[in-house]
Structure 1
């Protein structure tokens, strides 16, 4: 009796030899360790500043048109030493903070009522959809007539700019909750309040945080216009005074302040997202 034996091809994996696997994630991690992400994020801003300095140094841009980065930095130091920069930042932050609190509270209440209840949608959503198409900046004359030229119109303007985008995102987040999850919750015997707490609100949270980020940007934009209403302090006030004397360096300092404050606010919301949405892994880019 002859027993035939078959030999595996040379190099073929056997049961004892595991198949070698090279993952793309390992290579990506090695590249990220070699070149940190924060380094890539700094390349484009630094390149823009260098280009700006070159254009001003070569005379392509005059100081009357746009002050150089070196001049702007020197002006910022002078304003800080005089205390004007700190006072402007505090005044603007107080206005944005007050308007943001009012706008967030109003948006959450209206969006929750409109999103959870059909009658609430019938009563609230239609007026909100109409009002959100009205340019908020166009309401400045009416706000001055209604509230005068003090702090109230500035805060109301910021609150309106915050309310509408946040309302839209929260409302959309509630209405886009998977109906299958709600049915599953009912099957498990969860009551209405438990469904809202454990299913609907967590599912709507990503949309709400996106709306909050957008609302913060709208708040700073509204502040720029709001501080043109007879302001006696704030970043916008410094910009208006600089415009009267054609001080482009001061104007750029104020614009940079707006950008930095908006960036810090967005960074805070991103940290909040990582904390609140820790249960929800998201795609971080290839």
Structure 2
């Protein structure tokens, strides 16, 4: 009888007190692993900090004005060159050369990558040749291209196109080759045509790699332009910097470098904005 009573008491539910019912249950929240929200104008923070340090060092007399002029001196020089009219001409000339070379390089990179990425025969004919071209220093081709195309504008645009098409081809070809084969099998089961397969599977899968190559190509066009415009040129930012070197005008050289940097940052930002809009369906850390 005692054993039955004890077991019954043990099995009976214990009534909770009102104080215990009012006490909320605390749950530990896991710390987020994502980088967090994007800061407004975050890409300008680094350059603004560099300019601030440059200005502070110049104001404190820590920099030699003859070697590294102060930021306000560079801005004043840029305003003078713009007023005279030489700077707008040089900027437009450089933009034209970079634009033509980039357009040719973009077209060649996309066409070759598609031909090599979607065909075994194209891959055998194209991929090895492009990688051989990549192994050869592009600026080392300048003397040969001058002999082939002359010393005018044509060889400059051709060199820029080569610098641009290589990263676009490599990244787009890698993205095409990296598409999961299970999607190919799924497209075959669904009965997609070749055009439908390219439109629904290939293009969405290769776009991230394409935009990486596009950003590298945009930057490469500006990097090669600064060298090419110092060879038999009569206008352009590189020509302006080369002339300033002969006269020891470091402020003019810094004006050219800053304009190159601004153009590079703006073009890269434009590509990133287009990428974010086109690939809005992706959920990544950056988004």
Q: TM-score surpassing 0.5?
A: yes
SS at match of 1:278: coil
Q: 1:228 aligns with which of 216, 227, 230?
A: 230
Q: 1:219 aligns with which of 218, 221, 225?
A: 221
The residue that corresponds to 1:281 in the other structure is: 283
Over alpha carbons, which structure has the higher Rg? 2
The residue that corresponds to 1:74 in the other structure is: 76
User: How many residues end up aligned between the 2 structures?
Assistant: 276
Q: Distance in 1 between matches of 2:44 and 2:269?
A: 16
**Runs of 5+ unmatched residues, structure 2:** none
Q: Distance in 2 between matches of 1:262 and 1:18?
A: 55
With the length of structure 1 as denominator, give the TM-score of the two structures. 0.88
1:7 aligns with 2:15: yes
Q: Distance in 1 between matches of 2:84 and 2:16?
A: 83
For the 8 Å contact 1:166–1:208, the answer to whether it is kept is yes
SS at match of 2:72: helix
What is the CA-CA distance between 1:165 and the residue it aligns to? Answer: 0.7
- Could you report, residue by residue, the CA deviation over 1:79-120 in whole angstroms, capped at 9, with x for unpaired residues? 121222211111111001100111111111111111100011
SS at match of 2:135: coil
CA RMSD of aligned residues (A): 2.6
With the length of structure 2 as denominator, give the TM-score of the two structures. 0.87
Q: 2:182 aligns with which of 180, 183, 189?
A: 180
Q: Distance in 2 between matches of 1:226 and 1:52?
A: 29
Matches of residues 43-62 of structure 1 in structure 2 within 5 Å?
Answer: 43-62=45-64
Q: Distance in 2 between matches of 1:87 and 1:190?
A: 52
Q: Distance in 2 between matches of 1:262 and 1:11?
A: 64
What is the CA-CA distance between 1:44 and the residue it aligns to? Answer: 3.4
**Runs of 5+ unmatched residues, structure 1:** none
- Could you report, residue by residue, the CA deviation over 1:129-153 in whole angstroms, capped at 9, with x for unpaired residues? 1111111111111111111121111
Q: 2:160 aligns with which of 158, 161, 166?
A: 158
The residue that corresponds to 1:206 in the other structure is: 208
Q: Distance in 1 between matches of 2:217 and 2:22?
A: 58
For the 8 Å contact 1:63–1:248, the answer to whether it is kept is no
1:251 aligns with 2:259: no
